[in-house]
Structure 1
Amino acid sequence: MKAIRITALAGEERLGPFAAPPDGEILLGRSAVNGLVLEEDWAPRLLAILVPTPRSWLVVNGPSARMQGKSAWGPIDAPPDAIVAVPGGITDLRWTAALDHMRVKLNVGGSVDALPVLRPEEEDVEVLRAGRIGTQWVPDREAGPDLLEPQQRHTMAHLFRHLLDGTPRPKNITRPAAEALGISVDTLKKRAGVVRDRVNRERFQKLGTLDELGEYLVERAGVVTIDDLRPPPRARSMVARARERRQRDSPGGA
């Protein structure tokens, strides 16, 4: 997990820079119990949430306004409640309409030596969010691996194992993954397409190729990790049966 440096500009008031702890969510907004309190009367009680992942950080936009800005990956234009992955380097965020003079700068990987550390949220963030704005998070828009089902993460871990292992990309990433999973290449590609469409819909991405999908799941959002190579308990028997069936159907099989 890379350290993150945070600076906020609320009207004429500059807040920070601060360091965010790598082991807890940071809430930004007017509420006095937030990790970063914005004292302006026009500031929303919950502007956004910073969420650490194994490889980077996510920004969960609040319910009040559209979030725009730019990062090393390009322009950002996210509606309320959207989740945006934050790359290394500087990300500038601003909130439109009445919040146009609310800006936050994030520097992932920047020096945080001697900076004051923001207080992480100790309670369940989803429960707090529901209590403050009266709504629940939309299922599968929470940060982290809950975007995908365990079996989907397992499939994607095999497909993008080279990213998890830090090894060069093989010329063909689908065939060895399909063989390891005991499924056909066509089935694997269809499952990857389902995952891509879900990520594009739920995380407001425009992913097209398998490489773009792998970069997002592993490198950018940390949704898929090395632990996902182990099959989920419910799937192990199905995987074993699929492999046995392929062995029986292959030339020379029993």
Structure 2
Amino acid sequence: MNTVLLGCLAVFGTGAAAVAGALLIQRTVPARVRYDFGMYGALTTVLVVSAFLLTAITMGLFVWLTINQASHSVVQEADAVLDLYWYAQTLDGPEEVRLRSELRDYTTHVIRVEWPAMAETGELHPRSWQLARQLRYEITHVSPQPGGATIRYQDALRAVSVLFDARRSRESLAGTRIPPLMWVALISTGLLVVVLPMLRGDPRPAVRVVLAFVGAATVAFVVFLLYEVNVPFTGNVKVTPAPLEDALRSFADIDAFWGHRP
């Protein structure tokens, strides 16, 4: 189902349920009780609303930091792949051809196979780990000549280390979710935010209905939005492999610069 349609159903469905609840309270709760809630329940309402806002903001920050860290890891991985591809151009003979080919295979597999699998299962693909280890094996078996080749080799070893660090970070973040306790706090305080205005609202049904609908729709929208961005690599707001796709396209430019062909 389309996410926008699902969101509209969640928001307006929750609002409609709140309207029904408000009308039910209007009929069943005595006017004196509602008056007492209106007179003495203001402080409680403020506390509940504050708790809901604090929980929602905390969850939003958690999601933002997770997505930001995931994006940074992908950029680091793409930069490491590009650095290794540049290094491959400085090699001679079979080592150069083999390393360039393995870098292309790795980047293509991550984009086309690992990324969809990671979004679905929350885990990295075993084949990508195998290709990454093969890259490390190829680099560690290079025998550089003294001088500038040794310096470039040290940079290549650092790039391999960055690549593996970025993969481990991405693996950790792929399974990151908002903690269940935060969801319990958000939903429980959200329910109170919806119910308390029903008890404290103006005794006229029209005003009570409007307050109930607006409060419930707002809470539902916040909950739905946080749910949609809960997973960093899936959903409508997600981290994409765009940096790796840019790196893969750059391989052709690097080959052209050095006068090679893929």
Same fold (TM over 0.5): no
**Greater share of residues in helix:** 2
Q: TM-score range by the shorter chain?
A: under 0.3
Calculate the TM-score normalised by the size of structure 1.
Answer: 0.28
Calculate the TM-score normalised by the size of structure 2.
Answer: 0.27
**Relative contact order (alpha carbons < 8 A, sep ≥ 6): 1 or 2 greater?**
2
Considering only CA atoms, is the larger Rg found in Structure 1 or Structure 2? 2
**Greater share of residues in strand:** 1
